[in-house]
Amino acid sequence: MVGHISDFGLAKIISTDRLNYSANKSSSLGLRGTIGYAAPEYGMGNELSTKGDVYSFGILLLEMFTGKRPTDEGFKEGLSLHNFVKEALPERVTDIIDPILLQERIKRGTLNENSLGGDIDLRCLNSIFETGLTCSSKSPHERIDMSDVVTKLCTIRDKLHPT
């Protein structure tokens, strides 16, 4: 039960014969993007980048905690998973959490329905959603580096489970 993320839909197999491939050219032929996870700039022919991987990770993070896929039928007319989360934060974080996650916390008695706003778990979930939003910004320049993402997620983990 250990997740291994090896492909956000951006992996390319580049032939060792570089005569047919120029690193300076972008090619949709070499791109194996997955709809909903591939960074928006790839649709405009931009080259693969680590910022594109950050975007994909951000979408995956939002998906894991909302329980909604980026290709969900409810995301039409300009609505996206990113916008869905952005519009709900921070006041309506319980509205966007995967209902299964929320029910599990209530069932175990570790979350009090009457004091949701002050709950440390929900503040941490809010931080996770904010990290996912920063990662999945439309502009690559607004996205944070993956090392900063790891730092943020480790800080959140340490708040939930102090050593």
Domains and CATH numbers, the chain: 49-160 (1.10.510.10)
Q: Give the Cα separation of 17 and 46 in Å (integer).
A: 22
**pLDDT (tens digit per residue) in 27-81:** 444 555 677 888 888 877 777 788 888 999 999 999 999 999 998 988 888 889 9
3-state class of 137 per DSSP? coil
Peptide bond into 90 cis (omega under 30): yes
Q: Round to whole Å and give the CA distance between 115 and 104.
A: 16
Mean pLDDT, rounded, of the chain: 78
* The pLDDT value given to residue 109: 64
18-32, 51-65, 91-105, 112-126: the lowest-pLDDT one: 18-32
In the DSSP assignment, the letter for residue 102 is H
What mean pLDDT do residues 2-14 have? 43
Per residue in 120-160, pLDDT (tens digit) is 878 899 999 999 999 999 999 999 999 999 999 999 999 88
- Cα 127 from Cα 65, distance rounded (Å): 12
Going by pLDDT thresholds of 50, 70 and 90, the confidence category of residue 9 is: very low
